[in-house]
Structure 1
Amino acid sequence: MANRLACHVAGLPLPNPVMPASGTFDYHPDVRTPVDVARLGALIPKSITLHPQPGNPPSRLAETPAGLINSIGIPSPGLAAFQDKFRSVYGGVPCPLVISVAGYSPDEYAQLTQACSRWPEVVAIELNLSCPNLKTHLMPAQDPILLRDAVQAARAATVKPLWAKLSPNVTTIAPMAAIAHDAGADAVVAINTIRAMAINIERQKAILGHFTGGLSGPAILPIGLSMVWDIAQHTSVPVIGCGGIRTVDDALMYLMAGASAVQVGTATFAHPAAMMDIINGLDRYLADQGIAQIADIIGIAKPA
């Protein structure tokens, strides 16, 4: 891919700004997929927890007219099991590797961050502070003190870049981004899914086994876009845009709103090659517009 797609997230160089959202795409060296992993800006596997956990009870998915509600709940083998298989699975990943970790206390975030930072293949740690369908009702990304404490603990445990994944389920997101940045996050990811619910009217029951989950997909794109813009306008923290991205146009909107990079999630379930299409489309757009570097379009959106 042409060098014009090369970008930086808080000083971390990436070959391009397109990567999967954690939990929506993984790497299996012996499995062929429509995605050429070597062309991704980065790879982010599903969040790892300190201890094994099964995730939420079924049903875990509910389709909506413009998106998907998931209540997966971060099923995880735990850190020890993940460490055992790390070399065989991720040792040869042909793109930058970012590990997502999810803790239930600042100490757990610190332990996970420290352990995952030992691998030279890992270029950054993403702190999942905002999953809306876990057993706890209050997420660190919803409370300023919990957010600060979790990020500070992780920051003290590593010298590698830290990305804090924020929640849209707050009154205003820019102050939370500023808190994460001040606590030591090098960048923030915005947004995670929006708390949502679906009901089967014939059975008169909630469709999801956990009752509520997180809405993703096209319905949340305008919300994610506005929150990225808010963060870019009111803070100095670099932001990675996420939420509802399906096409190159969607990715371009996030970049023009101020995102340094983007994450693609639900779109890959319906169209596995979505990230490849977006990478190719970004390159074509820059070439057609005569733009030398992807950095030249970041934050250029203006009022109508």
Structure 2
Amino acid sequence: MPASGSFGFGDVKAARLNDLNRLGAVVLKTTTKMAKKGNPQPQIVSFKEGIMNSVGLTNPGVDKVVEHKLPQLRTHYPNLPIIASLAGASISDYCVVAEKLDNSELVDALEVNVSCPNVAAGGMQFGVDPLVIQKLTSEIKKRVAVPVYVKLTPNVTDIIECAQAAKDGGAEGLTMINTLYGLRIDPQTRKPVLGNKFGGWSGPSLKPTAIRMICQVVHQVDLPIIGVGGISNAQDVIEMYLAGASAVQIGSAQFNDPAACWHILDELEPEMDRLNIESLSKLINEVKEGFQDER
């Protein structure tokens, strides 16, 4: 599935030119309570080894998403699983957005983006405090019927504690990982490459961190994991499954190849045949059993 932000609301050019029904699901751009214009330009800068972004959750606000974006997507794809991503500056904001998305009856699951500044905590990200993750997840779960996945930030010292907090709050699953907080400076201008100075780092160089964190969490916290971070080909997908993921999202790869999801799908079965992998579900069980044997 495409990672949040890479496919808009299913209305970007790549989505219009390709069959979304081939995907496991579509993950929408993150939605907030009110419309957001985003951060100063430039918001996205591409490098050979990855991408820096500080888009700032640009979106039209949850009311317009529910009234216009979701119905348009659902009309064209009545059977496609839709995962709505949401964020907020307070727990109350998150809950309002979650309720409106759930009440629309147009989404199949929610992905809670906890890499957002918590106004009540002086701007500290929700996702760095396990107690806040648990409370936020719990409050959302009280208000919605659809499954809730929490998208964890890698910018923490103990990812297992954060994952356990999401589970304790009632999450049905996790998405791992969001971008690494970083900075790039242009030697010619002597200024940060992004208009907002700091931003999220993604791309192939993120993959070892994502693989490590997924592997750590999957053997300690009993929740399914959607793996994301640095996937650009079929081998990367298989490596995510070997780490313990049950599904994957493709993000930065689509900046260079807008049809990356479909190209990777085309590569996947031949690569599985080459590696004598009968099915991805059996591969997941094989990996889990192998770790149990080692313990």
What is the TM-score normalised by the length of structure 1? Answer: 0.87
**Shift in CA distance, 213/232, structure 1 to aligned 2, threshold 3 Å:** same
Q: Distance in 2 between matches of 1:56 and 1:32?
A: 25
Contact 1:186 1:237 (C-alpha < 8 Å) held by counterparts = yes
Greater relative contact order, per chain length (Cα 8 Å cut-off, separation 6+): 1
Q: Distance in 2 between matches of 1:258 and 1:174?
A: 14
Question: Counterpart of 1:159?
Answer: 145
Q: Distance in 2 between matches of 1:276 and 1:202?
A: 38
SS in structure 2 of the partner of residue 20 of structure 1: coil
Q: Distance in 2 between matches of 1:184 and 1:78?
A: 26
What is the deviation of 1:36? 1.8
Q: Does 1:24 align with 2:6?
A: yes
> 1:90 is matched by which residue type in structure 2?
R
Q: Distance in 2 between matches of 1:172 and 1:236?
A: 17
What is the deviation of 1:294? 2.0
Contact 1:105 1:150 (C-alpha < 8 Å) held by counterparts = no
Once structures 1 and 2 are overlaid, which stretch shifts more, 65-74 or 103-112? 103-112
> 2:3 is matched by which residue type in structure 1?
A
Q: Distance in 2 between matches of 1:162 and 1:56?
A: 28
Paired residue for 1:88, among 54, 72, 82?
A: 72
Question: Counterpart of 1:220?
Answer: 206
What is the deviation of 1:238? 1.3
**Shift in CA distance, 30/214, structure 1 to aligned 2, threshold 3 Å:** closer
Q: Does 1:171 align with 2:157?
A: yes
Alignment of 1:57-68 (within 5 A): 57-68=40-51
**Shift in CA distance, 87/34, structure 1 to aligned 2, threshold 3 Å:** closer
Question: Counterpart of 1:130?
Answer: 115
What is the deviation of 1:35? 3.0
Unaligned regions of 5+ residues in structure 2, if any?
none
What is the deviation of 1:77? 0.9
What is the deviation of 1:291? 4.6
Contact 2:89 2:116 (C-alpha < 8 Å) held by counterparts = no
SS in structure 1 of the partner of residue 55 of structure 2: coil
Cα RMSD for the two superposed structures = 2.3
Contact 2:148 2:171 (C-alpha < 8 Å) held by counterparts = yes
Unaligned regions of 5+ residues in structure 1, if any?
1-18
What is the deviation of 1:33? 4.5
Contact 1:255 1:298 (C-alpha < 8 Å) held by counterparts = yes
Q: Distance in 2 between matches of 1:119 and 1:109?
A: 16
What is the deviation of 1:104? 1.4
Seq. identity, %: 31
Give the length in aligned residue pairs.
284
Once structures 1 and 2 are overlaid, which stretch shifts more, 62-71 or 169-178? 62-71
SS in structure 2 of the partner of residue 77 of structure 1: coil
SS in structure 1 of the partner of residue 219 of structure 2: helix
Which structure's residues are more often helix, by fraction? 2
Q: Does 1:100 align with 2:85?
A: yes
Once structures 1 and 2 are overlaid, which stretch shifts more, 57-66 or 225-234? 57-66
Alignment of 1:212-291 (within 5 A): 212-288=198-274, 291=277
What is the TM-score normalised by the length of structure 2? Answer: 0.89
Task: Encode CA deviations 1:147-171: one digit per residue, 9 max, x unaligned.
Answer: 1121111111112100000000001
Paired residue for 1:181, among 154, 159, 167?
A: 167
What is the deviation of 1:29? 9.1
Question: Counterpart of 1:293?
Answer: 279
Q: Distance in 2 between matches of 1:252 and 1:286?
A: 8
